[in-house]
């Protein structure tokens, strides 16, 4: 089990963090690495005791006690956010940041919040990732190795990921961020995109993983898609309808309401699959599609409505659905083999 990539098929907020945490525990992953842009996207996981875990910098794989966590060199690091998560989750002896990561500074955050185009037109999160990425491309940004406070955590994440992935008895999980259809160079929705690509190939590039180690691409498909910020959302529901159905959601980073769709656009899903090459699908938020499956954990509980969507997703992606997310708790998951 050398390396698995978890990638979002659509516009993000699909449960990649929960999927990473679940697989890290199930498969006892040796290392989980965060890919993506930076701290502009978050993950939330609810434990069975009701404790909610929210993270923006580190992957959620640490919920398995034997899994180390790291930030890939292509990911922007905010030292304040990194330090907060290391402290909150007790990860001082298990966290690593690649020494080559570009750094988000308070000045980057101020620049983004003051940029009317980014905030009002694009609808960015105001976390400084756009300006920091711009400075990195222009070779003006600081790197993690330049900051004393990050020194205890510095390492070569690419070398470590490839070393572990070369051992057939160990597993590396790469947790992507945001969603394929927010990719800077691949989305037709520009400028309503993020500042980089969010595909499986982009994720292994962010980490520096040798492609020959990649054995699985799990594409996460949200049963009722959502989108934060501006840009088109096919089959969009009104905010009132989402509230009426009890499926309203709010962003981990900003707290903004997520725009909700009433169905999947299968043409877009097929396009996303062509970009990512999934080997399997995790179908998430099935309880938003059919409340009857909420919290269920056995295959016999899967309703006909969910089964129809499984079949449609498999036709569009050419990959089998193997995981069903049925509720907010970490173990609200069904292993699907039919």
Annotated binding site for IMP: 125, 139, 178, 194, 256
Residue with tokens 């999947």: 264
Neighbours of 194 (CB within 10 A): 26
Q: Residues forming the annotated binding site for GTP? A: 258, 285-287
Q: Residues forming the annotated binding site? A: 13, 42, 125, 139, 178, 194, 252-258, 285-287
CA distance 196 to 206: 10
Residue burial 278-293, b: 16+ Cβ < 10 Å; e: rest: bbbbbbbbbbbbbeeb
Does residue 191 have a cis peptide bond before it, meaning omega lies within 30 degrees of 0? Answer: yes
Q: Residues forming the annotated binding site for Mg(2+)? A: 13, 42
CA distance 76 to 194: 13
Length of the chain: 338
All residues at 6 or more sequence positions from 182 whose CB lies less than 8 Å from its CB, including other chains? 11, 12, 189, 193, 194, 198
Both tokens assigned to 24: 């890290």
- Which residue numbers are catalytic? 13
Q: Residues forming the annotated binding site for substrate? A: 252-258
Q: Is residue 67 within 8 Å of 32, Cβ to Cβ? A: yes
Alpha helix stretches (DSSP H) within the chain:
16-27, 79-89, 106-113, 116, 129-137, 157-165, 200-207, 239-245, 266-276, 286-289, 304-317
CA distance 66 to 282: 23
């Amino acid at each position: 089990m050398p390396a698995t990539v978890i990638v979002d098929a659509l516009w993000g907020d699909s449960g990649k963090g929960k999927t990473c945490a679940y697989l890290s525990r199930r498969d006892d992953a040796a290392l989980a690495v965060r890919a993506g842009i930076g701290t502009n996207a978050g993950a939330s996981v609810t434990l069975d005791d009701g404790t909610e875990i929210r993270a923006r910098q580190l992957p959620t794989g640490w919920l398995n006690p034997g899994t180390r966590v790291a930030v890939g060199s292509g990911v922007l690091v905010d030292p304040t956010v990194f330090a907060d998560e290391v402290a909150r989750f007790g990860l001082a002896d298990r966290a690593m940041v690649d020494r080559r990561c570009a750094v988000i500074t308070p000045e980057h955050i101020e620049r983004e919040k003051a940029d009317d185009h980014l905030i009002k037109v694009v609808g960015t999160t105001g976390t400084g990732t756009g300006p920091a990425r711009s400075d990195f491309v222009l070779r003006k940004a600081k790197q993690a190795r330049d900051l004393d406070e990050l020194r205890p955590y510095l390492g070569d994440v690419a070398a470590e990921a490839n070393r572990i992935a070369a051992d057939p008895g160990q597993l590396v999980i790469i947790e992507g961020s945001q969603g394929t259809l927010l990719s800077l160079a691949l989305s037709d929705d520009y400028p309503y995109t993020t500042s980089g690509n969010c595909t499986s190939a982009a994720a292994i590039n962010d980490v520096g993983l040798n492609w020959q180690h990649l054995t699985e691409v799990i594409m996460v498909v949200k049963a009722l898609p959502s989108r934060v910020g501006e840009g088109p959302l096919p089959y969009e529901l009104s905010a009132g309808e989402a509230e009426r159905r009890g499926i309203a959601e709010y962003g981990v980073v900003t707290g903004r309401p997520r725009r909700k769709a009433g169905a999947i656009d299968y043409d877009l899903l097929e396009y996303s699959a062509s970009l990512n090459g999934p080997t399997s699908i995790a179908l998430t938020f099935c309880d938003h599609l059919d409340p009857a499956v909420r919290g269920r954990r056995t295959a016999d509980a899967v309703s006909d409505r969910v089964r129809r969507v499984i079949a449609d997703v498999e036709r569009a992606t050419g990959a089998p659905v193997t995981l069903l997310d049925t509720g907010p708790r970490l173990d609200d998951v069904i292993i699907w083999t039919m």
